[in-house]
Amino acid sequence: MKPDVKIITQISPDQSVICILGNNTIPVNLSLSKSEMEYARKKLSEKEEYVFINSYFKCTYLVRIKDDLPEFRQKEELRKTAFSLRKLIKSNCHNELVITSHKAFKGAIESFTEGLILSFYSFEKYKTNEEKNDNKHYPEKLFLNGVINDADLKWLVETTDAVYLTRDMINDPPNHLNASALAKEITRMGKIAGFSVDVLNKGKIEALKMGGLLAVNRGSVDPPVFCIMEWNPANKANSKPIVLVGKGVIYDTGGLNIKTGDFMAYMKTDMAGAATVAGVIYSAAKTSVPLHIIGLVPVTDNRPGGNAYTQGDVLTMHNKTTVEVCNTDAEGRLILADAISYAGNYNPELIIDIATLTGSAAMTFGNKAIAIMGNAERKYFSLLEECGMDVFERVAELPFWDEYGELLKSDIADIKNVGGREAGAITAGKFLESFTEFPMIHLDIAGTGTLKKDDFYRSKEGPGSGLRLLATFLKKLSTQYQDKNR
């Protein structure tokens, strides 16, 4: 259960408080006794990450900002400290908690609160025992006191809501969340946030001749869907839409090139890109981002049953390109390719796809960075890099030279769906590039979107990687357009 968050202007002496300190001075409005003050100063001088004071009738948590870091790193350290504090906060069973600051930089309260809320997340939908409501001991209310306005609060609340919704979708197992169920959830989100959702069934997908999506679906008993989301506000600042494309492989067995060992263990998260796109558009709509945004999500699972597609098949894609299938476990790029070519119908300014696509990206960057590549203008890459630092969903660019595309040449078709073991993340991106003539950026979240253990507030329970990055990117991009149009 996500806490309710509100702004307050005053702190009463009996309220439990988290105070973020810009230096080692402690404000008098925390109402600490002389001995408590002395204890706190001593601990702060020892450069403790945080100091906890139990006054019996209230609790005080003092959080020290690491002043030897750039501001974007200070923000991240506050989010991580919030994660470190979550168990202590939970053990104290606060019904409500105040978060304030003293001589801290603007945004410190929001960064800490964001880390705390994301650390509270727990997926308990299918728990039936006493652990079901294990997070009920977290505060139901968070009161923010400091330099924060209503717009900042709304952004914080709605983006963390979007992360929760995205994590819920990623965590839901495929026997409950198949393709049609995911489409229903996205439709529900659209009704809540105010964006339109059109769900194309298998018949319409066949009429559009989306050969990649249909091929991957052939081994499944569940039909595919193709979800089209649109946020088109009256005050949009862009003349051409930004199109987001998310990989929606509900579960990936590898198909006939079946995954071995434990490589299948986390494959319910292979639709993280699709969930993230839905979450980003939800966030944009709820916060009224003045941009025209389209979201495209092709959805199916990849199984070896029925008339499953095979190594050696030749597929005809939505844009009539023929593809030789060299590995049925390279299915994500096939369904994305159909969606990316379909995106051309909107004459987009920019296409950004996001996907748990290649083990190569995970091996290259681990869980520390999102692999990014593409052919769009440098201004978009620069803004994504800036936003990645700000929310600490960092991007690391890979080269995108034409020579990598040559590794995809086929003897019997226009292109192969894999280019060999070398440069696997890049050739996957080059494969996608061949399905559009519009500027595109490819984000591979294979390393950051599926975690085997918590990475601080980035929960192993579907971290929702890329959502905060793209939401912030769209927000800042809209501001740039508005400034330019003034």
Question: What is the secondary structure of 371-438 as a DSSP string?
Answer: EEEESS-HHHHHHHHHHHHHHT--EEE----HHHHGGG--SSSSEES---STTHHHHHHHHHHTT-SS
**The one catalytic residue among 333, 394, 458, 475:** 333
333 in active site: yes
Q: What residues does 302 pair with on adjacent strands?
A: 252
DSSP classification of residue 265:
T
Crossing angle of helices 71-91 and 378-391, in 10° steps, is 40
Burial of 196 (0-12, 13-18, 19+ CB in 10 A): middle
- Whole-angstrom distance, CA of residue 166 vs CA of residue 159: 10
- Whole-angstrom distance, CA of residue 89 vs CA of residue 373: 41
How many CB atoms are located within 10 Å of the residue 9 CB? Answer: 7
H or E element, residue 354: strand 350-355
Torsion angle defined by CA atoms of residues 166, 167, 173 and 176, in that order, rounded to the nearest 10 degrees: -50
Q: Collapsing DSSP states into helix, strand and coil, what is residue 4?
A: strand
**The one catalytic residue among 41, 259, 460, 476:** 259
H or E element, residue 63: strand 59-64
Residue 264, C-beta contacts closer than 8 angstroms, at least 6 positions apart? 252, 253, 254, 258
- Which residue, chain included where needed, has tokens 């690491």? 66
430 in active site: no
> In which region does residue 103 sit, left (phi positive, over 0), alpha (psi from -120 to 50) or beta (all else)?
left
Cβ contact 163:24 at 8 Å = no
CA 432 distance to own-chain centroid: 21
Residue 415, C-beta contacts closer than 8 angstroms, at least 6 positions apart? 321, 322, 323, 324, 408, 409, 431, 434
Q: Collapsing DSSP states into helix, strand and coil, what is residue 229?
A: strand
- Can you say whether the dihedral through the CA atoms of 275, 278, 283, 284 is positive or negative? positive
H or E element, residue 164: helix 150-171
CA 434 distance to own-chain centroid: 26
- Whole-angstrom distance, CA of residue 168 vs CA of residue 162: 10
- Whole-angstrom distance, CA of residue 360 vs CA of residue 149: 43
> What residues act catalytically?
259, 333
